[in-house]
Amino acid sequence: MSAKIIDGKAFAATVREKVAGHVSRLKEVHGITPGLAVVLVGEDPASEVYVRNKGKQTLEAGMNSYEHKLPEDTPEADLLALVETLNDDPAVHGILVQLPLPKHIDEEKVINAIAPAKDVDGFHILNVGLLGTGQKAMVPCTPLGCLMMLRDHHGSLSGLNAVVVGRSNIVGKPMAQLLLRDSCTVTIAHSRTKDLAEVCRRADILVAAVGRPEMIPGDWVKPGATVIDVGINRIPAPEKGEGKTRLVGDVEFESAKDVAGAITPVPGGVGPMTIACLLANTVTACCRENNLPEPE
Ligand code: NDP
């Protein structure tokens, strides 16, 4: 039997619709328009596409979007000064500094300079600590999107065996924290994990966040498991013509879909949920700032 394909694109559209509803109530009832500031340093083409999409979707949800594009050679002190200005700007409820930053800038220093209440990426050390101790945090967007899809599919995640492959600060670790918070039994695997195939085969929920094209084949997947593929990898696609490429995940979709109970595709799975959750986090930050009830 073939797995249910979890349609992240459609799910993200419903999240964005809910966000737009909250935004219009905030405007009409309270006269507040949530604002998201996105800072891009340098000219990384992938980052430029992300930033453009974020700005477009922010406006479509009825919020204010503030884009700050700085040259590649911007001194760290100038970037920190801009973050300070945004921290103090009451029209800005969320701040996102697009990563990666140029080599001469200390990413951790910049992330930790963002006011934690405006840290809609959830990477500030305070938010990491709040999430780790089960307190009210800003939650990183990609793992939050994964959790929403898992809850939607399973209802309760309590007692399920979850394996997260990847231990990065932006995906793997916060994903594991969220699954633990929902009472999964969580294993975090990484490049030094012994017998990864066996570890994966124990997973009722398998989250792949590695960055290696189609590394996880179908025979690593437990029959009926839910597979969330975070990986976005561009590989050559000669079948589409010379020099053409296509996107694949970290999971070998064709073999995994015959074993899994449900699976996210790449593209069209986790990716669209990330921006939708960024918009949701901005509304949450705006509500907290104004002591208003938060969207669920
Ligand atoms: P990182 O490179 O920061 O982390 C990769 C993790 O995978 C590391 O923990 C690494 O282990 C582990 N790993 C590498 N090779 C292996 C292996 N052979 N076996 C087991 N584990 C391995 O990546 P990110 O977490 O930033 O991103 C992961 C993927 O998710 C990428 O493809 C990225 O493009 C995608 N992504 C997608 C997003 C979306 O919106 N859909 C958002 C963010 C990321 P170790 O720590 O031991 O080195």
What CATH number corresponds to the domain at position 233? 3.40.50.720
Are residues 282 and 260 both part of a single domain? no
Are residues 155 and 261 both part of a single domain? yes
Are residues 112 and 187 both part of a single domain? no
Would 102 be classed as within a structural domain? yes
Q: Given this model, what pLDDT does residue 245 score?
A: 95
- How far is Cα 261 from Cα 280, in angstroms, rounded to an integer? 28
Would 214 be classed as within a structural domain? yes
Q: Given this model, what pLDDT does residue 171 score?
A: 98
What is the C-alpha R_g of the chain? 19
C-alpha of residue 211 to centroid of ligand 1, in Å? 4
Residue 264 is part of which domain span? 141-272
Would 61 be classed as within a structural domain? yes
Are residues 101 and 186 both part of a single domain? no
Are residues 147 and 99 both part of a single domain? no
Would 194 be classed as within a structural domain? yes
Are residues 152 and 38 both part of a single domain? no
Q: Is the Cβ atom of 212 under 6 angstroms away from ligand 1? A: yes
Q: Is the Cβ atom of 268 under 6 angstroms away from ligand 1? A: no
Residue 188 assigned as binding residue: no
Residue 192 assigned as binding residue: no
Are residues 181 and 268 both part of a single domain? yes
Token pair for residue 23? 């935004």
Q: Which residues pair with 70 in a beta bridge?
A: 41
Q: Given this model, what pLDDT does residue 296 score?
A: 79
- How far is Cα 261 from Cα 249, in angstroms, rounded to an integer? 17
C-alpha of residue 166 to centroid of ligand 1, in Å? 5
Measure CA of the first residue to CA of the last residue in the chain; give whole Å: 35
Would 281 be classed as within a structural domain? yes
Report ipTM for this prediction: 0.99
Residue 167 assigned as binding residue: yes
Would 146 be classed as within a structural domain? yes
C-alpha of residue 30 to centroid of ligand 1, in Å? 41
Q: Which residue has the tokens 């800003």?
A: 138
Are residues 148 and 67 both part of a single domain? no
Would 81 be classed as within a structural domain? yes
CATH number, domain at 63?
3.40.50.10860
- Ligand 1: which residue has its CA nearest to atom 5? 210
Q: How many domains does the chain have?
A: 2
Tens digits of pLDDT across the chain (296 residues) = 799 999 999 999 999 999 999 999 999 999 999 999 999 999 999 899 999 999 999 999 999 999 999 999 999 999 999 999 999 999 999 999 999 999 999 999 999 999 999 999 999 999 999 999 999 999 999 999 999 999 999 999 999 999 999 999 999 999 999 999 999 999 999 999 999 999 999 999 999 999 999 999 999 999 999 999 999 999 999 999 999 999 999 999 999 999 999 999 999 999 999 999 999 999 999 999 999 999 87
Are residues 226 and 190 both part of a single domain? yes
Number of residues written out for the chain: 296
Are residues 177 and 58 both part of a single domain? no
CB 203, CB 260: distance < 8 Å:
no
* Three-class HEC string of the chain: CCCEECCHHHHHHHHHHHHHHHHHHHHHHHCCCCEEEEEEECCCHHHHHHHHHHHHHHHHCCCEEEEEEECCCCCHHHHHHHHHHHHHCCCCCEEEECCCCCCCCCHHHHHCCCCHHHECCCCCHHHHHHHHCCCCCCCCHHHHHHHHHHHHHHCCCCCCEEEEECCCCCCHHHHHHHHHHCCCEEEEECCCCCCHHHHHHCCCEEEECCCCCCCECHHHCCCCCEEEECCCEEEECHHHCCCCEEEECCECHHHHCCCCCEECCCCCCHHHHHHHHHHHHHHHHHHHHCCCCCCC
Residue 191 assigned as binding residue: no
Which ligand 1 atom sits nearest the alpha carbon of residue 172? 25
Q: Is the Cβ atom of 210 under 6 angstroms away from ligand 1? A: yes
Task: Give the list of residues 6+ apart from residue 16 with CB closer than 8 angstroms, or none.
Answer: 57, 60, 61, 276, 279
Q: Which residues are catalytic?
A: 54, 98, 121
Q: Which residues pair with 164 in a beta bridge?
A: 188, 207
CB 95, CB 66: distance < 8 Å:
no
C-alpha of residue 131 to centroid of ligand 1, in Å? 20
Are residues 176 and 254 both part of a single domain? yes
- Ligand 1: which residue has its CA nearest to atom 41? 271
Are residues 207 and 239 both part of a single domain? yes
Would 10 be classed as within a structural domain? no
- Ligand 1: which residue has its CA nearest to atom 15? 191
